[in-house]
Amino acid sequence: MKTLFKATLYFVLIALGIILVATLIFNSYYRLVNKRAEKELQAVSLLTVDGLQFRDLNKNGKLDPYEDRRQPVEVRVDDILKQMTLEGKVGLMWHPPIGIDDGGELQAKPSILSPVSTYDAIIHRKLNHFNLFAVPGTRELALWSNKIQQLAEKTRLGIPVSISTDPRHGIQPDTELLGGNWSRWPDPIGLAATRDSALVVEFGRIASQEYRAVGIRTALHPMADLATDPRWARINGTFGEDAQLAAQMTAAYIYGFQGDELGPSSVACMTKHWPGGGPQENGEDAHFHYGKNQVYPGNNFKYHLIPFQAALKANTAMIMPYYGIAVDQTNENVGMSFNKEIITKLLREEYGYDGVVCTDWGIIEGFSFLGYELVEAKNWGVEKLPVEERIAKVIRAGVDQFGGNMHTRQLLRLVRKGEISEKRIDESARRLLHAKFVLGLFDDPFVDPDRAVEIVNQEAFAAKGKLAQRRSLVLLKNKANATGTPILPLQKGIKVYTENIAPAAIANYAQPAKLDEADVAILRLRTPFEERDDDFMENKFHQGNLNFPEPELTRILKIIQQKPTIICLYMDRPPVIPEISRQCSGLLADFGAQDDAVLDILFGNITPTGKLPFEVPSSMEAVSAQKEDLPYDSKDPLFPFGFGLTYE
């Protein structure tokens, strides 16, 4: 037995040694390749013309029209397009994720976030649009942004990099993927609960300043989708189920990020998910094969276009179609980005949109690491087509850019075989370059790391976010006692039993106590969901049943029966809570709020003013009976759309 143990131990040690040596060789190889690649590049010098300085991006010693900020944008675009190779144009059309190494260094080797190093992506694949996930601290992020722009300016034409991100300002971000030191605001559904478009504009202006301070120039938001099925996993990213409210909020959001018009002080909005990703069959999300269908049993397709009409009127810089199939709404049941009627006929021709259209992430192929598929491809309706044919179909549909993938070689082959014309590539390249020029990236893509630290999450921005959290909370129940006095607001200094509230937070308002000693109980809960983990992304999507499961429901009800209980419920989806609502003393809907914001409402420092942005259903039977595409379609809702109490 001892001999077997020793043999096993030796084998493990040898295997670990081999892995360590291989890792060192692997890392050394990439460092060497990167250094050689960078040495071959030529640094940018400055030109002085008419007393002004310009960047000599193509290193030819003279001022070209595309380098001259005094020239009209179209003149600059025409000039650089003439100088670009086919490989460079094709590189513009891919928008993959990118990683950041420790200390804000450029990613030196493949990782789970990016299958190629930053050097390979920019120098060899000619890519210059990237999507950020995990990020370091503010200063390190700003330093990284400058390093990637310095690398980009050394390429043949010095085309600057465009950096994008999904929303990062919520209270409950996935810190592994979307963390960072930002001011904290309610979810978009919470902004809708405030009913205050001026507040949404202010959020956009603040978030835009924080993004720009660290070099992020494209917001992969807002979501203009409508939350017409309460089971859908992405409701907290929407502005609710009412099209007019969502339209108002969407326009305000874009105006906040972009300003009166897109320019150097803007962050470009990529409004999603055209033509509305809310009416998911059985409420299942289109990230997964079982949610690929969008259905319209209420014949309400056009209703879902209303917020997008507002986005187009607000001059959104970019549009992202969703993954799903709009079942039987066009002549072909394929995903939105593959559907020419959805992109060219409806968006470009009927609505006259000539901006950038970028697919949602991973529609050509899924995400794999070391040969293992972590996330399946979202190629709904075209699953049997080879990769090159999928790419061709997307381009023929009228799309400009592919999110999440980087199949440059396959697209080059399509052009060289004559299946896609270079003229068609030029159409998309023109739109993508136009955005870079208008944003001022060709003139100055760099940021000041010291200034970034001063701007991001500064005291004034944090205070505005905290105020928005308080205004987003919706009071749904305030039960009166025997003397007719409502339980809320609570008296300060009472004994309180809490769950999911930080002890330091409650200590500022009341005395923490055990349940049997408390005057009142305060429970912070969240809408239930089904645990799913067949896919890497599934556990990040809260889907399925909206009922509190047993034994959790019984446990909550026992607390309510023992003490007057206030329930604060995070509603990333509308919950089914008839028993809890009936028996609790107070009920507060939370759409992204920190403990102190909730306690300020409960103890009367702030009067609640929020209104529900969706219905709260009375049962899962009512949910199942709803038509996926219709708003206000729940039978006898527990709380209707627009409901909200106050203390006055």
Which uninterrupted H or E stretch holds 383?
Answer: none
Q: In this structure, what token pair is assigned to residue 577?
A: 């809570």
Residue the block writes with tokens 């039978």: 635
Residue 205 half-sphere exposure toward CB, CA atoms < 13 A? 12
Q: How far apart are the first and last CA of the chain?
A: 78
Q: Is cis: bond before 386, omega within 30 of 0?
A: no
534 is catalytic: no
**Strand residue runs (E) in 378-493:** 402-403, 474-478
- Could you say which of 360, 400, 600, 633 is catalytic? 360
Residue 279 φ/ψ, nearest 5 degrees: -80, 65
Other C-beta atoms within 10 Å of 289: how many? 14
Name residue, tokens 């944008």: 73
CA distance 256 to 205: 5
Q: Cis link prior to 222 (omega < 30° from 0)?
A: yes
Strand partners, 520: 496
- From CA 331, how far away is CA 322, in angstroms rounded? 18
Q: Are 336 and 321 in contact (CB under 8 A)?
A: yes
Q: Which residues pair with 164 in a beta bridge?
A: 131, 218
In degrees and rounded to multiples of 5, residue 210 shows phi and psi of -65, -40
Torsion, Cα 557 562 565 569, to 10 degrees, reads -20
Residue entry with tokens 């697919």: 359
Active site residues: 360
